[in-house]
Amino acid sequence: MGMLDWFKGIMQGEDKSAAASASTQPGADEKGAEVAGLNFKTAVDAHMKWKVRLEAYINGTSTEQLKVEVVSRDDQCPLGKWIYDMGGEKFGYSETFFDMKAHHAHFHRCAGEVLAAAQAGDTASATKLLQGGDYIKASERVKMLLARMFILASDGKEAIDSHLKWKARLRDYIKGESRENLRVENVSRDDMCPLGYWLNGIGGERFGNTPAFSVLKSRHAHFHRCAGEVLSIAQQGERDKALQMLEHGAYPDASQQVAAAVVTLFDGQKKAAA
């Protein structure tokens, strides 16, 4: 079982069997789980061990000197340090990243509450907090979001989805149904959208040495120039013409070319891995 399958198993609620399969597979390559300075499998494993660490503390069998004020913080563990450093730099545009950051912070607050109860001598309350309620929900949510982050970082799906939404964004803007303050000079650039961030970040790191990646990057830049032209026409008051440009001519051709280049890139990677 590869790392991508392991994380997909978590996403599908099959984490127990997936983890067992991955851990017993001879020579399982965990290096494939490292993206942007974080080994996501190690991060998931370390996160799940919090329950064992807290159980040992509650039972009096732990040798750790845990402090509530430290455990309650979301920037003191390896995952938290990554979130506030390279993770934010690489994935700061991603809604999934912001969700993970928020739930990770909530998880540590819950862990702090468990520890505080244990240190107050209320082992019954500490055990109850650990085995149910917000702690379990927060823990599971962080694990799921870590898995989702790895999958998105590996295949760029979130960035690709954002590309497909450009037509709707421009159409709503042209019709006056959007609250976005779109600017031609920004829309025309190929490095200010999620796909652009991905191409210049994780995507470039993973696929930058392949011819298919170069084709995708070139087509993406051309697409944004076309999108900028549509927006420029709309802002000149020629809304009907701009709407027609969305359906016919350079803009839809450029958008389709980007989609085709994406398929070629990932199909090539799948064949290379087969």
pLDDT in tens, 139-156: 988 988 888 888 777 767
> Letter for the amino acid at 191?
D
Do 86 and 161 sit in the same domain of this protein? no
Q: Which of 86, 120, 153 finishes a domain?
A: 153
pLDDT in tens, 71-94: 999 999 989 999 999 888 878 777
Provide CB contacts within 8 A for 96, sequence distance 6+.
Answer: 145, 148, 149, 152, 158
The number of folded domains in the chain is 2
Do 81 and 207 sit in the same domain of this protein? no
* CATH number assigned to the domain comprising residue 40: 1.20.120.30
Residue 245 confidence class, pLDDT cut points 50, 70, 90: very high
Beta strands in the chain (DSSP E): 34-35, 38-39
Higher-confidence residue of 13 and 175: namely: 175
Do 161 and 130 sit in the same domain of this protein? no
- The mean per-residue pLDDT over the stretch 242-258 comes to 95
State the average pLDDT for the chain. 85
Q: Which of 128, 153, 178 finishes a domain?
A: 153
Do 8 and 46 sit in the same domain of this protein? yes
- Between 239-247 and 166-174, two packed helices, what is the crossing angle to 10 degrees? 160
Do 28 and 93 sit in the same domain of this protein? yes
Do 142 and 190 sit in the same domain of this protein? no
Do 135 and 43 sit in the same domain of this protein? yes
Tell the burial category of 113 from Cβ atoms under 10 Å away from its Cβ (0-12, 13-18, 19+): buried
pLDDT in tens, 183-230: 999 999 999 998 998 898 888 888 889 999 999 999 999 999 999 999
Do 176 and 194 sit in the same domain of this protein? yes
- Domain that residue 178 falls in: 157-273
Do 50 and 162 sit in the same domain of this protein? no
Do 113 and 186 sit in the same domain of this protein? no
Do 188 and 148 sit in the same domain of this protein? no
Q: Which of 132, 153, 174 finishes a domain?
A: 153
Residue pair 118/54 in contact (Cβ under 8 Å)? The answer is yes
pLDDT in tens, 12-71: 664 444 443 344 343 345 556 777 788 888 888 888 899 999 999 999 999 999 999 999
